[in-house]
């Protein structure tokens, strides 16, 4: 980077890898706001090179051909580039590109939650070793400055837990299911028609994307390297509209939550459909919106809410990282170095080691003794019942019985359900969901 003189703007050169949805958004900001950003921040951002898959492809944005290359690695190596912006996603070749950029002295900004979740420590270690910054605000919750808030805003806080709605696709589907009473498939098709869900929606609806974001958030919130494979993940594909209805009757909304909790024995990290009481700040988050609810020991309860995805919100997050790095790494002194943030290695608890409240829907034969058997089995496994609702049913085969429990150990719940589901009066596998309050 050129050194800043009082009268001259700081020039910072960017290499952009990927010109898809978010990449186009970044390109447009750089093109349309060059003057206003320079005026605001004193930094002149110059787009040096853009790596794309095909130079001849038609694009919604008009890009000078001379800026384009199909050789992403050449951008990572380009000595004129100060900051490399990686927006192609996925592990390969993004990881190689980022590592090469860091080792050749560039700072990196990325929106790649999959990479940070699955190979984060390698990336962060490489950034530290090369004394380079890595910005990843865009990897979680789009334009909401949640990364910055966790890393800097709440730095003196001990964060005991957070709950996040971090996948807009799932939240849209769940919102439609609860508003319209439709089933998962109908809501998914609608989300696809509106462009809120991919043709292959697996990454979203099976909870993997939420787990990636959970890993990124948990690392910062709990200052610990996170073993992504240990995160428990359940998606929304199996969610039945009946259960959304029953939950509503009991005063709860069902959300796909990313849950992070710190216990003396380790971290609880899980993604699954969750019942939230209607008064909870996250229960009212609808449609494609994202929100993260944090409990911090000093600052108290906090909620961050906004658009979690899309071209403009995500590009806004990318630009906030770019300008942070551009503004704060201008001294010209390569030796100048902020102290490292330190991370330890907390254990991630297995799902059987966790404790939660539960929603259980049993499908039982409408005859004497079955409810007694269920109650007895729960009791034998140290599970206390908070409420019981047996639904009147006009089907002859079976009736639903909905039980909410007090906090119980997951391993006890599983043991009890194994017994109950094997018994005669129970006609279907019991539906089990966790409840947060």
Q: Interface residues with a copy of itself (CB under 8 A)?
A: 4, 9-10, 25, 29, 33, 36-37, 39-43, 137, 142-145, 148-149, 152-158, 223, 281, 284, 291, 296-307, 310, 312-313, 315-317, 319-320, 323-324, 327-328, 330-333, 335-342
CA geometry: angle at 69 spanning 63 and 71, to 5°?
Answer: 150
Q: Are 308 and 141 in contact (CB under 8 A)?
A: yes
Tell the smallest beta-carbon distance from residue 140 to a copy of itself (Å): 13
Please say which residue, 299 or 419, places its beta carbon nearer to a copy of itself. 299
Tell the smallest beta-carbon distance from residue 110 to a copy of itself (Å): 17
Query: How far is the C-alpha of 162 from the C-alpha of 353, rounded, in Å?
Result: 18
What is the C-alpha radius of gyration for the chain, rounded to an integer number of angstroms?
25
Query: How far is the C-alpha of 50 from the C-alpha of 68, rounded, in Å?
Result: 5
**Distances 277 to 187, 255, 283, 410, 436 between C-alpha atoms, Å:** 23, 11, 7, 20, 8
List CB contacts of 227: < 8 A, sequence separation 6 or more. Answer: 348
Please say which residue, 320 or 405, places its beta carbon nearer to a copy of itself. 320
Within 10 angstroms of residue 8's Cβ, the number of other Cβ atoms is 11
Please say which residue, 108 or 360, places its beta carbon nearer to a copy of itself. 108
Identify whether 213 is a catalytic site residue: yes
Tell the smallest beta-carbon distance from residue 310 to a copy of itself (Å): 8
Please say which residue, 322 or 378, places its beta carbon nearer to a copy of itself. 322
**Dihedral in degrees, nearest 10, Cα atoms 417, 418, 419, 421:** 70
b/e code 125-159 from CB counts within 10 Å (16+ = b)? ebbeebbbbbbbbbbbbbbbbbbbbbbebbeebeb
Query: How far is the C-alpha of 14 from the C-alpha of 79, rounded, in Å?
Result: 11
Please say which residue, 28 or 353, places its beta carbon nearer to a copy of itself. 28
Please say which residue, 10 or 354, places its beta carbon nearer to a copy of itself. 10
Tell the smallest beta-carbon distance from residue 34 to a copy of itself (Å): 11
Within 10 angstroms of residue 3's Cβ, the number of other Cβ atoms is 11
What are the DSSP E strand ranges found in 173-251? 232-233
Please say which residue, 46 or 155, places its beta carbon nearer to a copy of itself. 155
Tell the smallest beta-carbon distance from residue 161 to a copy of itself (Å): 15
Token reading at 211: 């787990």
Q: DSSP assignment, residue 378?
A: H
Catalytic residue among 95, 100, 106, 213: 213
Tell the smallest beta-carbon distance from residue 257 to a copy of itself (Å): 17
Tell the smallest beta-carbon distance from residue 105 to a copy of itself (Å): 17
**Residues tagged active-site:** 213
């Amino acid at each position: 980077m050129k050194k800043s003189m009082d009268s001259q703007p700081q020039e910072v050169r960017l290499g952009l890898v990927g010109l898809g949805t978010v990449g186009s958004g970044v390109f447009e900001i750089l093109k349309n706001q060059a003057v206003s950003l320079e005026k605001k921040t004193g930094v002149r951002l110059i787009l040096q090179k853009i790596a794309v898959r095909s130079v001849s492809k038609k694009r919604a944005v008009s890009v000078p051909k001379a800026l384009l290359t199909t050789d992403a690695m050449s951008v990572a190596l380009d000595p004129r580039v100060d900051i490399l912006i990686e927006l192609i996603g996925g592990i390969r070749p993004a990881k190689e590109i980022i590592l090469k950029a860091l080792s050749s002295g560039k700072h990196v900004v990325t929106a790649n939650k999959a990479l940070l979740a699955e190979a984060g420590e390698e990336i962060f270690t490489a950034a530290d070793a090369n004394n380079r910054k890595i910005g990843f605000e865009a990897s979680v919750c789009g334009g909401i400055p949640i990364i910055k808030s966790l890393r800097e805003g709440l730095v003196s806080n001990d964060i005991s837990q957070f709950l996040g709605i971090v996948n807009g696709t799932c939240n849209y589907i769940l919102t439609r299911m609860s508003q319209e009473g439709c089933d998962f498939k109908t809501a998914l098709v609608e989300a696809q028609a509106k462009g809120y869900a991919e043709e292959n929606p697996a990454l979203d609806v099976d909870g993997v994307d939420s787990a990636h974001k959970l890993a990124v958030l948990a690392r910062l919130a709990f200052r610990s390297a996170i073993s992504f494979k240990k995160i428990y993940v359940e998606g929304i594909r199996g969610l039945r509209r009946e259960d959304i209805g029953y939950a509503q009757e009991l005063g709860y909304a069902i959300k796909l939550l990313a849950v992070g909790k710190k216990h003396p024995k380790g971290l609880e990290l899980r993604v699954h459909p969750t019942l939230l009481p209607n008064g909870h700040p996250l229960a009212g988050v609808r449609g494609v919106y994202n929100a993260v609810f944090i409990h911090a020991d000093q600052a108290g309860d906090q909620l961050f809410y906004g658009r979690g995805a899309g071209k403009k919100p995500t590009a806004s997050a990318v630009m906030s990282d770019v300008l942070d790095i551009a503004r704060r790494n201008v001294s010209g002194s390569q030796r100048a170095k902020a102290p490292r943030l330190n991370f330890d290695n907390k254990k991630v608890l297995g799902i059987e080691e966790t404790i939660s409240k539960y929603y259980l829907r049993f499908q039982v034969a409408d005859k004497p003794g079955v409810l007694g058997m269920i109650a007895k089995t729960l009791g034998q496994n140290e599970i206390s019942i908070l409420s019981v609702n047996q639904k009147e049913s006009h089907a002859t085969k079976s009736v639903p019985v909905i039980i909410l429990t007090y906090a119980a150990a997951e391993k006890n719940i599983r043991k009890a359900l194994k017994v109950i589901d094997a018994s005669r009066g129970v006609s279907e596998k019991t539906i089990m969901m966790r409840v947060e309050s």
